[in-house]
C-alpha cells in the first residue's frame, strides 16, 4: 500500500471529523488504491459519503466508482442487521431477559448518525452471566445455531475464558455474539453487568427504542476492545471520534471511574490520543491534560499509527504481547495478563479460540 494512498485517506478522515472540506488528491498514482485501503480499514462507506458530498473537482470518479459497490453493500447489510436487532429486542423483552446491544448498527447510529456508515459483521449483546442460558434459549428459538460446537466441560471453559458465544443463522448471513463481559477473562476483570443493565440508555433505531450502554461506559469499552486488537482499524478510531461528537455532555469523571474499575485507564488515554492527534478531534482541556501526562501513551500511539495499512505490522506474537503489557499501567493488571496469557495459549487449540 503506497504512502500517498494512506496519507490521503487519513487526510480525508481528519477533514471529515473536523467538519472541513475534503482535500484534493494530489500525487495519487492510483485513486482506486485509496478505496482498497478504506474498505480494508472499515471506513469505505464513510469515505464514499464524505467524498460524494464534496466538490466534484476534488474527487476522482474512479475513486467513487471503486467505493460505490462497497457503500451499497453496507447499506443493504445495515438494513438487514437493523431489522434483526429490532426482532431480537422484541424477543428478549417478551422473554423477560434484559440485554444491551452495543457496537454494530447501534453504535453506527450513536456515533455516525447512520448505521450504514459503520460496517459490522455481527450483532453484539451484553447479558448477565446468570441470564446467559435464558438469553441463549431466545437466540436459538429465533433460528440461530451455535457457531462453536463445544459441549459439557469444554463449553463451560470456553464461556469462562472468552465471556462470549457466537451464533449464526443457517444461511450464515447473520451472526450474534452473546457476551457476559466486556473482554475475555485474561484481558480485563469482569464488570458488574447488572449495574450496566440498570444504567441502560435507549437509542432510536429506525423507530424502535433499543437498550444500550451509557456513553460513559461505552467509551472505555471501545478503547478496551480496540487495544485488544492493537487499534488495527481506522474504523475503531472513528467510533471514538463519533461518540465524542454526538455526546457533548459527556461525564468525564464517570468515564475515568469506569476505566479505573475495568483497569483500562491507559487504553482510554491511548484511544483519546489517537482521535485527537490522528483525526484532529478536540478534547476538553482537562481531558487532554490527563491524556498527555501519561508519557507512555504517545509511544504506543506512534506504534499504532505506523502499523495502519500494513498487514504484517502485528504478525509477531511478541509485538502484540509487549503492546498489551504496555497498555496496562498498574502492576496488578500487568500481572493478571502475564499469568493468564499462558493459560490462553495452552487452551486455545482445544477451544478453537481465534483471538
Helix ranges, 129-233 (H): 132-141, 152-162, 193-198, 215-228
| 3-state SS assignment for residue 263 | coil
Per-residue pLDDT for 253 more than 70? yes
Q: Does residue 81 have a pLDDT over 60? A: yes
Q: Which residues of 112-149 are buried (b: 16+ CB within 10 A; e: fewer)?
A: bebbbbbbbebbbbbbbeebbebbbebbeebebeeebe
Signed CA dihedral, 182, 184, 188, 189: sign only: positive
Report the C-alpha gap between 88 and 144 in whole angstroms: 11
Residue 148: pLDDT over 90: no
355 pLDDT band, cuts 50/70/90, is low
What are 164-191's pLDDT values in tens digits?
999 999 999 999 999 999 998 888 888 8
Q: How much is the average pLDDT of 14-26?
A: 91
pLDDT digits 0-9 by tens, 195-223 = 999 999 999 999 999 999 999 999 999 99
Angle at 147 between CA 144 and CA 149, to 5 degrees: 115
Phi-psi region of 179 (alpha: psi -120 to 50; beta: other; left: phi over 0): beta
For the 3-351 domain, the top CATH level (class) is: alpha beta
CA atoms within 13 A on the CB side of 290: 18
Region 84-106 average pLDDT: 97
**pLDDT value of residue 294:** 96
pLDDT at 152: 83
Nearest to 272 by CA among 235, 299, 242, 241: 241
Q: What is the pLDDT of residue 333?
A: 87
Residue 111 has pLDDT above 80, yes or no: yes
CA 301 – CA 26 distance, rounded (Å): 27
pLDDT of 232 higher than 70: yes
Grid cell in block for residue 55: 466538490
CA dist list (Å): 200 to 65, 204, 205: 41, 13, 15
Cα 288 from chain centroid (whole Å): 22
Q: What is the pTM of this model?
A: 0.94
Terminal CA-to-CA distance of the chain, rounded, Å?
A: 25
Q: Once rounded to an integer, what is the mean pLDDT over residues 289-308?
A: 95
d(CA 262, CA 190) in angstroms, rounded, equals: 8
Report helix, strand or coil for 206: coil
**What is the domain partition of the chain in residue ranges?**
3-351
Q: Report residue 276's pLDDT band, with 50, 70 and 90 as the boundaries.
A: very high
What integer pLDDT is reported at residue 347 of this predicted model?
A: 77
Given a cut of 80, is residue 351 above it in pLDDT? no
- Grid coordinates representing 45? 462507506
Give the pLDDT mean for 128-140: 97
Copy the grid coordinates of residue 28.
Answer: 495519487
Average pLDDT rounded to a whole number, residues 48-76: 93
Q: Specify the pLDDT at position 348.
A: 73
Average pLDDT over residues 234-250: 94
Mean pLDDT of the chain: 93
Residue 350 has pLDDT above 70, yes or no: no
pLDDT on residue 2: 67
- In what order do the strands lie in the sheet containing 123-126? 100-102, 123-126, 175-179, 164-168, 145-146
pLDDT confidence of residue 354: 63
Contact, 93 vs 77, CB < 8 A?
A: no
pLDDT over 70 at 151, yes or no: yes
| DSSP structure class, residue 24 | P
Select the more confidently predicted residue: 140 or 27.
140
Grid cell for residue 46:
464513510
Contacts of 124 (CB under 8 A, 6+ apart): 101, 102, 103, 104, 176, 177, 179
The percent of residues in the chain predicted with pLDDT above 70, rounded, is 97
Q: At what angle do helices 265-273 and 252-261 cross, to 10 degrees?
A: 130
Amino acid at each position: 500500500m503506497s504512502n500517498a494512498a494512506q496519507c490521503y485517506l487519513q487526510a480525508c478522515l481528519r477533514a471529515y471529523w473536523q467538519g472541513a472540506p475534503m482535500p484534493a488528491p494530489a500525487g495519487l498514482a492510483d485513486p482506486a488504491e485509496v478505496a482498497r485501503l478504506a474498505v480494508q480499514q472499515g471506513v469505505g462507506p464513510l469515505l464514499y459519503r464524505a467524498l460524494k458530498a464534496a466538490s466534484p473537482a476534488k474527487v476522482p470518479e474512479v475513486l467513487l466508482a471503486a467505493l460505490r459497490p462497497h457503500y451499497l453493500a453496507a447499506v443493504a447489510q445495515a438494513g438487514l442487521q437493523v431489522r434483526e436487532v429490532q426482532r431480537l429486542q422484541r424477543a428478549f423483552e417478551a422473554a423477560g431477559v434484559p440485554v444491551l446491544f452495543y457496537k454494530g448498527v447501534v453504535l453506527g447510529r450513536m456515533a455516525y448518525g447512520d448505521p450504514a456508515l459503520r460496517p459490522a459483521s455481527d450483532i453484539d449483546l451484553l447479558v448477565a452471566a446468570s441470564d446467559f442460558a435464558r438469553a441463549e434459549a431466545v437466540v436459538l428459538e429465533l433460528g440461530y445455531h451455535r457457531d462453536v460446537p463445544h459441549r459439557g466441560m469444554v463449553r463451560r471453559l470456553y464461556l469462562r475464558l472468552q465471556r462470549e458465544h457466537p451464533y449464526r443463522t443457517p444461511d450464515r448471513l447473520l451472526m450474534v455474539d452473546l457476551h457476559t463481559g466486556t473482554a475475555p477473562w485474561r484481558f480485563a476483570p469482569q464488570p458488574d453487568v447488572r449495574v450496566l443493565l440498570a444504567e441502560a440508555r435507549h437509542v432510536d433505531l429506525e423507530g424502535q427504542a433499543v437498550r444500550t450502554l451509557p456513553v460513559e461506559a461505552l467509551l472505555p469499552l471501545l478503547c478496551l476492545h480496540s487495544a485488544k486488537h492493537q487499534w488495527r482499524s481506522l474504523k475503531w478510531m472513528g467510533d471514538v471520534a463519533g461518540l465524542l461528537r454526538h455526546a457533548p455532555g459527556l461525564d468525564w469523571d464517570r468515564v475515568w471511574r469506569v476505566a479505573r474499575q475495568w483497569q483500562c485507564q491507559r487504553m482510554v488515554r491511548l484511544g483519546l490520543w489517537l482521535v485527537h492527534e490522528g483525526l484532529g478531534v478536540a478534547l476538553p482541556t482537562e481531558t487532554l491534560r490527563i491524556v498527555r501526562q501519561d508519557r507512555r501513551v504517545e509511544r504506543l500511539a506512534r506504534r499504532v499509527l505506523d502499523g495502519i495499512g500494513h498487514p504484517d505490522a502485528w504478525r509477531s506474537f511478541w509485538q502484540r504481547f509487549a503492546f498489551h503489557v504496555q497498555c496496562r499501567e498498574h502492576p496488578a493488571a500487568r500481572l493478571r495478563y502475564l499469568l493468564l496469557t499462558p493459560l490462553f495459549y495452552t487452551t486455545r487449540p482445544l477451544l478453537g479460540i481465534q483471538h
